[in-house]
Amino acid sequence: MRIRVLGPDKSFIHRDVALLRELGHDAVWASFESLKDLAREPLFRRDLTIHWLCGFGAGQWARLPPVIRGKTVGVFGGGEVHPDNLKDPAFASHIRRVLTRFDGITFVAPHLLELAARQGLPIPRNVAVSPTYADPEVFRPLNKRPKTAAICGPFLQPVRVIHKGLDRLPNIARANPDWTFFVVGLAPSLTGVIRNLSNVVPLSPEMDNSTAEQR
């Protein structure tokens, strides 16, 4: 099957595209950031379009006639049904259009489907709940190290240092010199924030994670 995956430049979306290819599909990824993309995409005919993170871009895609849009499934990751986001009338209008015009919707967690229903959003007939897979063995606790802590990124841009509280770590580390703190996913260009802290250990992100994820 020829599948188009629309969505932002996120590593988890690219992993989905790679998985579809492993399953034998002709899958391609495309961004959806502007009306220019909207005008270009219909030229590349596909059997199915999967639209990840359905916001304004998905609302624009839903405006297209079905003969041009083709069969489309939306994936709701959470922000689409957040009460604060739906306070924006334009955003809410896009979400309602997606729910009523796409051929199907997948929610990544059951509580998101319940939240959508409680807020009076139209629930399509073709709806599915498909939680994101996680290997529980990855999270199985190992032997604890005494007086160790970790703060996890990735921290790829300065804004993430503030958003995830890394800017407060120096004071915490100085106040607890007998503890060791690991900073997971810290880009080499941002190590200055923990300079001269002997009890803070930076762990750089892997190369395949150094994308625009979590900007």
Q: Looking at the structure, tell me whether residues 13 and 106 fall in a common domain.
A: yes
Q: Looking at the structure, tell me whether residues 51 and 115 fall in a common domain.
A: yes
Q: Looking at the structure, tell me whether residues 185 and 93 fall in a common domain.
A: no
Q: Looking at the structure, tell me whether residues 89 and 114 fall in a common domain.
A: yes
pLDDT tens, per residue, the chain with 215 residues: 999 898 888 888 898 899 999 999 999 888 866 555 655 655 567 899 999 988 888 888 898 888 888 899 999 988 899 998 999 999 999 999 999 999 999 999 999 999 999 999 999 999 999 887 667 777 777 787 889 998 888 888 887 788 788 899 999 999 999 999 999 988 888 888 898 899 999 987 654 444 333 33
Tell me the pTM: 0.62
Q: Looking at the structure, tell me whether residues 24 and 52 fall in a common domain.
A: yes
Q: Looking at the structure, tell me whether residues 162 and 193 fall in a common domain.
A: yes
Q: Looking at the structure, tell me whether residues 148 and 124 fall in a common domain.
A: no
- How far from the centroid of its chain's Cα atoms is residue 202's Cα? 24
Please give the pLDDT value at position 143.
80
∠ CA(139), CA(145), CA(147), 5° rounding? Answer: 115
| Distance (Å) of CA 120 to CA 117, 178, 204 | 5, 53, 44
For residue 214, being part of any structural domain is answered with no
Asked if 75 and 97 count as a contact pair (C-beta separation under 8 A), the reply is: no
For residue 136, being part of any structural domain is answered with no
Out of 129, 149, 174, pick the residue that ends a domain. Answer: 129
Q: Looking at the structure, tell me whether residues 52 and 115 fall in a common domain.
A: yes
* SS3 letters across the chain: CEEEEECCCCHHHHHHHHHHHHCCCEEEEECCCCHHHHHHHHHCCCCEEEEECCCHHHHHHHHCCHHHHCCEEEEECCHHHCHHHHCCHHHHHHHHHHHHHCCEEEECCHHHHHHHHHCCCCCCCCEEECCCCCCHHHHCCCCCCCCEEEEEEEECCHHHHHHCCHHHHHHHHHHCCCCEEEEEEECHHHHHHHCCCCCEEEECCCHHHCCCCCC
CA-wise closest residue to 185 among 162, 158, 209: 209
CB atoms within 10 A of CB 141: 5
Residue where the block lists tokens 């939680």: 131
Q: Looking at the structure, tell me whether residues 66 and 117 fall in a common domain.
A: yes
CB neighbour list of residue 196: distance below 8 Å, 6 or more residues apart: none
Query: Per the structure, how many domains does the chain have?
Result: 2
Out of 129, 150, 169, pick the residue that ends a domain. Answer: 129
For residue 104, being part of any structural domain is answered with yes
Q: What is the pLDDT of residues 65-91, one digit of tens each?
A: 888 888 999 999 888 999 989 999 999
Out of 94, 129, 164, pick the residue that ends a domain. Answer: 129
- Residue 152, domain extent: 141-209
Starting at the edge strand that comes first in sequence, how are the strands of the sheet with 180-186 ordered? 148-155, 180-186, 200-203
